Structure 1
Amino acid sequence: MNELHGSIPSSIFKLVNHRYLVLSSNNFSGVLETSNFGKLRNLTSLDLSNNMLSLITSANSNSILPSIVNLDLSNNNISGVWSWNMGKDTLRYLNLSYNIISGFETLPWKNIGILDLHSNLLQGPLPTPPNTAFFFSVSHNKLSGEISSLICKVSSMGILDLSNNNLSGMLPHCLGNFSKDLSVLNLRRNRFHGIIPQTFLKGNAIRNLDFNDNKLEGPVPRSLIICRKLKVLDLGNNVINDTFPHWLGTLPKLQVLVLRSNSFHGHIGRSKIKSPFMSLRIIDLAHNDFEGDLPEMYLRSLKATMNVDECNMTRKYMGDSYYQDSVMVTIKGLEIEFVKILDTFTTIDLSSNTFQGEIPKSIGNLNSLRGLNLSHNNLVGHIPPSFKNLKLLESLDLSSNKLIGRIPQELTSLTFLEVLNLSQNNLTGFIPRGNQFETFGNDSYNENLGLCGFPLSKKCTTDETLKPSKEMDAEFESGFDWKITLMGYGCGLIIGLSLGCLIFLTGKPKWLTTMVEENIHKKITRSKRSTCRRGARRK
């Protein structure tokens, strides 16, 4: 990035022997006249991405850049119908994402492997990618109509992203088994209906299946059990009618499971599998009809949310060099898109079901958890003091249940806690003071008539202030060692996520989205460093 501006200098077109030309991430603007590039007969790679260039196309430009293999014009101002057909026999990589292209005269490239057209204004039916395509993304466009079964002839396909369009109809039955190399199938935010493909190839490479926000129905396909490399399964916001797919617990690499806002029902119960869902760290079962007790056996098995040694881990995201996995996470009613999933991020959302019984104390063992939402159920009993062990917790929502008793004083040790919602319960006694509890407002405690003390206007009587709870008595009798920890987390993850939500909803530029994400991850890194320092001091 050199911050060059204005038109591309004419001297560039004198570099007739150059094979590689990178002018990305500058402020070049104006019209890019394709005929000028005819002088660069030996050019194989051209990168003009992240500028402000528009384009004059020509029907007679087929011979321009006869040796071109890689072309990146992403993040520019290229508009209209694309007709620059250079490199039709040689081009392997073409990235036109983040422009305002409305269509193509043809897709003439015979041997292309990577074709990235996402975030444009493409309209009309879904174009069929060349048979040689490995990566094909047309997400965030305005495409409509059905998926043609011709797409299943692209047997080399590895990543297929059709998300965020107006595509409709039923999914072709072949869509799950047309390529042995298929690792990502993303159909999020369309209008597909009918059942999910029922057949998947044995020994398949599928890593990410995202069907969120469609009108898909029927049960979860049992054939998913052969997808042994599956890491992300997102079936949220459909009309799927099924019981809990406990058999998914055998998938050894499954890390993200989203079933929210469907018609799942019944008791989750116990599993016959000895240690189910051991790799699972993002679980969202919210807004269904699950009932009975919370699934303590499954919660006990979530090893990926326990004792994560962040001190000795480098920051890493789910996915690969071609495609990074994403997921929608709902926190305090806000739907936020993580366009990158940090491999240490953990959250559990079981809200808006009809779970009953007490909150299992064993949840306190999930000490790497960052978000926990059990709201809008029929849970009873006390808030477990064992929650004090959730040292990395940043969001806790237990609202709209039937919880009783005092708020455990032990929760004040959760110094990363940014959002707390205990409203609409039957909690009593004084509200704990100290650390993060000094920052929570009235909304955290609304409609608990028996609560008193800061920040509420209701003052506590002497008896309410001094009388210890049974849980506190038990802690003192067992020799509880009160430790005062410093607040090491200023403007936390949830605030960053809220900004991320605004960006997602208003469609701000990619660079701003990236900046917010980096801000979020920096905060996670700071929390990691703070935790590591405390661990070092204890040693």
Structure 2
Amino acid sequence: MGTLPKCLMSFSKNLSVLNLRINKIQGVIPRKFAKDNKLRTIDFSQNRFEGTLPRSLLHCENLEVVDLGNNRMKDTFPDWLGTLPKLQVLVLRSNMFHGFVSSPREARSFSELHIFDLSNNNLSGPLPVSYIMKLTTMMYQDKRQGKLQYMGDGNYQDSVMVTMKGLEIRLVKILTVFTSIDLSSNHFGGELPMYIGNLKSLKGLNFSHNNLTGYIPLSIGNLTELEWLDLSSNKFIGSIPQELADLTSLAFLNLSENQLIRPIPRGRQFNTFKSDLFAMNPRLCGFPLPETCTNNPQEIPLVTILQENDTGHGSWFEWRAILMGYGCGTVGGVSLGYIVLGSKKFEWLTGLLEKKGANVRKKWRRNACRSYQI
């Protein structure tokens, strides 16, 4: 209860862990952290702190864990924390952080992060792809065998609250191989980039309850360590990639409340998921939903063509030509002719076709006159 005394920060020069979790502390976080301090962990979660983050946190160059979850902080995204060279856990969940997430200030911003949690705030604008793509620690799988290691030291091991597989769970110990991103319950928009598939050591990904659009990228099939994925309550379109069904570690998936279409892929993991995890996609069908699929399985859907284009293997001209040839032969021929005629390289062909068309029209008129005279 009460406020945090300012004098406590002067002791931070000798502290390595400052854990004040669940104490109903209110007011602002003191503005001054001592220079050259030894703080490794700051856990102020589940209190009533308000106001903004003090910039003097940059004096804490040894910080590995910052947990300010479940408070009343009202600030913009503290991108300047990305300059802390050892930061592995950043939890700002359930506060009142707001506004756009601006571009990273440093080339290696947040590069050491294992847990990145901005969930349940008022952040808006495009999905912060530029930050996600700098999470280099999540890009490499640790193939070393041996004793499990946890964050912390011999005297204190860190813990953190995470939303895992749809449930809030406190990890009393944090494995060094544990990695997760949770940007759920904000107002982020835009599309998931193909580069999301580079985060190959990622265990959990939660982008639910935002305004994300476009297709689920095929590259998500590269996340072979992924154990839970929540993309529910967005505006994703197209079909569910088969690559998702091939992820053998995926134990939880929620794609409900989107605009997904066509049959749900079949696979070992997908066969265990309940129907409510796919619900409220009006044009989605197949097991475990009660709606059966009536489309011809041999038919190549338009969304598949568009998704293949999304992988970047074809040029604009190539996929546009495919799309224009998708309908009946006559429409396809006219459309393809339009593309060719629009090119300066084939101006000679334009004249040839026009001349041929004029001859056909003359012949048709002559035949019509003869028929009339007869």
Same fold (TM over 0.5): yes
SS at match of 1:364: helix
Q: Distance in 2 between matches of 1:298 and 1:200?
A: 26
2:268 aligns with 435
Pick the aligned partner of 2:203 from 370, 377, 382: 370
1:289 aligns with 122
The higher relative CO (CA closer than 8 Å, separation ≥ 6) is in: 2
Confirm whether residue 171 of structure 1 aligns to residue 14 of structure 2: no
| C-alpha distance after superposition, 1:484-509 (max 9, x if no partner) | xxxxxxxxxxxxxxxxxxxxxxxxxx
Q: Distance in 1 between matches of 2:311 and 2:102?
A: 35
Q: Distance in 2 between matches of 1:344 and 1:286?
A: 21
- In structure 1, runs of 5+ residues without a counterpart are 1-167, 480-539
Pick the aligned partner of 1:470 from 305, 312, 316: 305
Q: Distance in 2 between matches of 1:475 and 1:403?
A: 14
Q: Distance in 1 between matches of 2:222 and 2:262?
A: 23
In 1, are the aligned partners of 2:23 and 2:46 still within 8 Å (CA)?
yes
SS at match of 1:463: coil
Confirm whether residue 249 of structure 1 aligns to residue 88 of structure 2: no
Q: CA deviation at 1:439?
A: 1.1
Q: Count how many residue pairs are aligned between Structure 1 and Structure 2.
A: 312
Q: CA deviation at 1:476?
A: 11
1:386 aligns with 219
Q: CA deviation at 1:254?
A: 0.3
Confirm whether residue 454 of structure 1 aligns to residue 287 of structure 2: yes
More helix by share: 2
2:133 aligns with 300
Q: Quick one: which amino acid aligns to residue 264 of structure 2? A: I
Q: CA deviation at 1:391?
A: 0.4
Q: CA deviation at 1:271?
A: 1.6
401 and 179 in structure 1: CA distance in 2 versus 1, 3 angstrom threshold: closer
In 2, are the aligned partners of 1:380 and 1:404 still within 8 Å (CA)?
yes
Q: TM-score, normalised by structure 2?
A: 0.80
- 1:133-532 equivalences under 5 Å are 168-312=1-145, 314-463=147-296, 466-468=299-301, 469-470=304-305, 473=308
313 and 369 in structure 1: CA distance in 2 versus 1, 3 angstrom threshold: farther
SS at match of 1:411: helix
Q: Distance in 1 between matches of 2:60 and 2:131?
A: 21
265 and 212 in structure 1: CA distance in 2 versus 1, 3 angstrom threshold: same
Q: Distance in 2 between matches of 1:476 and 1:381?
A: 13
In 1, are the aligned partners of 2:218 and 2:311 still within 8 Å (CA)?
no
Q: Distance in 2 between matches of 1:332 and 1:410?
A: 20
Q: CA deviation at 1:269?
A: 2.1
Q: Distance in 2 between matches of 1:261 and 1:445?
A: 26
179 and 437 in structure 1: CA distance in 2 versus 1, 3 angstrom threshold: closer
SS at match of 2:149: coil
Q: Distance in 2 between matches of 1:345 and 1:471?
A: 34
SS at match of 1:217: strand
In 1, are the aligned partners of 2:12 and 2:33 still within 8 Å (CA)?
no
In 1, are the aligned partners of 2:194 and 2:311 still within 8 Å (CA)?
no
In 2, are the aligned partners of 1:408 and 1:471 still within 8 Å (CA)?
no
421 and 266 in structure 1: CA distance in 2 versus 1, 3 angstrom threshold: same
Q: Distance in 2 between matches of 1:350 and 1:477?
A: 26
Q: CA deviation at 1:331?
A: 2.3
Q: CA deviation at 1:308?
A: 2.4
CA radius of gyration, larger in: 2
More strand by share: 1
Q: Quick one: which amino acid aligns to residue 125 of structure 2? A: G
SS at match of 1:225: helix
Percent same amino acid among aligned pairs? 56
Q: CA deviation at 1:394?
A: 0.3
In 2, are the aligned partners of 1:355 and 1:378 still within 8 Å (CA)?
yes
Q: Distance in 2 between matches of 1:429 and 1:243?
A: 40
In 1, are the aligned partners of 2:210 and 2:233 still within 8 Å (CA)?
yes
Q: CA deviation at 1:362?
A: 1.4
C-alpha root-mean-square deviation of aligned residues, in Å?
1.9
Q: Distance in 2 between matches of 1:232 and 1:400?
A: 30
- In structure 2, runs of 5+ residues without a counterpart are 315-374
Q: Distance in 2 between matches of 1:478 and 1:452?
A: 29
Q: Quick one: which amino acid aligns to residue 278 of structure 1? A: S
Q: CA deviation at 1:310?
A: 2.7
Q: CA deviation at 1:301?
A: 0.5
Q: Quick one: which amino acid aligns to residue 115 of structure 2? A: I
In 1, are the aligned partners of 2:94 and 2:121 still within 8 Å (CA)?
yes
Q: Distance in 1 between matches of 2:305 and 2:144?
A: 36
Q: Distance in 1 between matches of 2:61 and 2:194?
A: 32
Q: Distance in 2 between matches of 1:399 and 1:365?
A: 22
- 1:34-73 equivalences under 5 Å are none
In 2, are the aligned partners of 1:430 and 1:465 still within 8 Å (CA)?
no
